Amino acid sequence: MKLEAPILITMGDPLGIGPEIIARAFQRGAGVGCVVVGNLGAMRRAMALLAEPWPLAVLDSPADIQACPPRCLPLWQAAGLPAGLDRLPWGQVDARAGAAAAACIEAAVRAVQRGEAAGLVTAPLHKAALAAAGVRYPGHTEMLQALAGGVPVRMMLANEELRVVLVTIHLALRAAIDAVTFEAVLGTLRIAHASGEKLRIAVAGLNPHAGEDGLFGSEERQIIAPAIAAARAEGIDARGPFAPDTVFMRARRGEFDLVVAMTHDHGLIPVKYLGIEQGVNVTLGLPFVRTSPDHGTAFDIAGRGVADPSSLEAAIRWARRALAARDVS
């Protein structure tokens, strides 16, 4: 895929901060070469929150980005969106908003699959709104996986200091522990290894002190260590399991290129602690590039005109780098 094709940015939940951070990112110059997939009314309402609103240019297809005048936000409207999204109250769970967010994601993925766009950046959606709309997927990762044909995927959260790939994501903690299997850990290591060249991968344990030789749990000895050994036999530079409370510090200092963590919060807390404004959510394993901010819809500040677009801008930069790497290879 050539980089001349646009990157698509889905608007996310229209009642959250997604539309606003998109508008701000474009005004700050981050949206060059990007097309927003969304709803005219919702994006126009978000643009009105800015001190100097830009006009919106409605495109017939993403390929029409070249016809978009300067200082305009290029918008491609997904088909079948509910009417009146711009009249719904900010910051509330609404099935219509969930349906709209899901429709934008599906339309964007199909456009990428048709070769009309280079990659995908997704603004935040709200899981409760998705559920209210009858969408059976709990979040972006699962929905994108299904739209891509069910390929194995993993969530990576990253910034300039730390990259973390998760074995399990949106599961209750009790269920997540059961989902830490030999196959899941090995599959994660394979996907992480395929995301870059010569990666040094650290594997965090599940239990305190990585189990302390079985004193605090057996998962490290029975599941995680054998998966690491199998990965190393395949030529993957994976090491561990290491104590979860220190391995992220070691990676940040340069000893490893990324960390594989067993559960959602084990892996995401260290990255988010370093600064949500620079964090990027990347879906590894998809046949196309997808990134996202590492924060949610922020319903508490939606519509107030104070949302920070920095994480979205970081997601756009990460998508561009990923696409450039694919183009070179």
Q: Of 274, 298, 316, which residue sits at a domain end?
A: 274
Predicted pLDDT at 326 = 77
Residue 142 included in any domain: yes
Task: Please state, in angstroms and rounded to a whole number, the distance separating the CA atoms of residues 113 and 205.
Answer: 37
Q: What is the pLDDT of residue 79?
A: 85
Which residues lie closer than 8 Å to 79 by C-beta, 6 or more apart? 103, 107
- pLDDT score at 1: 38
Q: What is the pLDDT of residue 2?
A: 43
The answer to whether residues 205 and 224 touch, using CB atoms and an 8 Å cutoff, is yes
Question: Are both 177 and 92 inside the same structural domain?
Answer: no
Residues 146 and 239 occupy one common structural domain: no
Query: DSSP letters along 13-65, please?
Result: -TTSSHHHHHHHHHHTTTTTTEEEEE-HHHHHHHHTTSSSPPPEEEESSGGGG
pTM: 0.90
On whether residue 181 sits in a domain, the answer given is: yes
Residue among 89, 12, 70 nearest 43 (CA): 12
pLDDT score of 257: 97
Q: Does one domain contain both 71 and 129?
A: yes
Domain harbouring 266, CATH code: 3.40.718.10
116 plus 146 within the same structural domain: yes
Positions in the chain whose pLDDT score sits under 70: 1-3, 327-329
Domain that holds residue 104: 1-152+288-329
Give the span between the Cα atoms of 52 and 31, in whole angstroms.
16
Contact 20, 307 (CB under 8 A): yes
Number of structural domains, the chain?
A: 2
Give the containing element (helix H, strand E) for 267. helix 264-273
**CA-to-CA separations, 112 to 3, 115, 215, 328, in angstroms, rounded:** 12, 5, 49, 19
Give the N- to C-terminal CA distance of the chain in Å, as an integer: 11
Q: Are residues 11 and 113 in the same domain?
A: yes
Q: How far apart are CA 259 and CA 270, in angstroms?
A: 11
Q: Is 107 left (phi over 0), alpha (psi -120 to 50) or beta?
A: alpha
pLDDT in the model for residue 327 = 64
Pair 41, 129 in one domain: yes
Q: Could you tell me if 165 and 243 lie in one domain?
A: yes
Q: Are residues 111 and 239 in the same domain?
A: no
Nearest to 248 by CA among 183, 184, 202: 202
Characterize the bridge pairing of strands 7-10 and 34-38. parallel
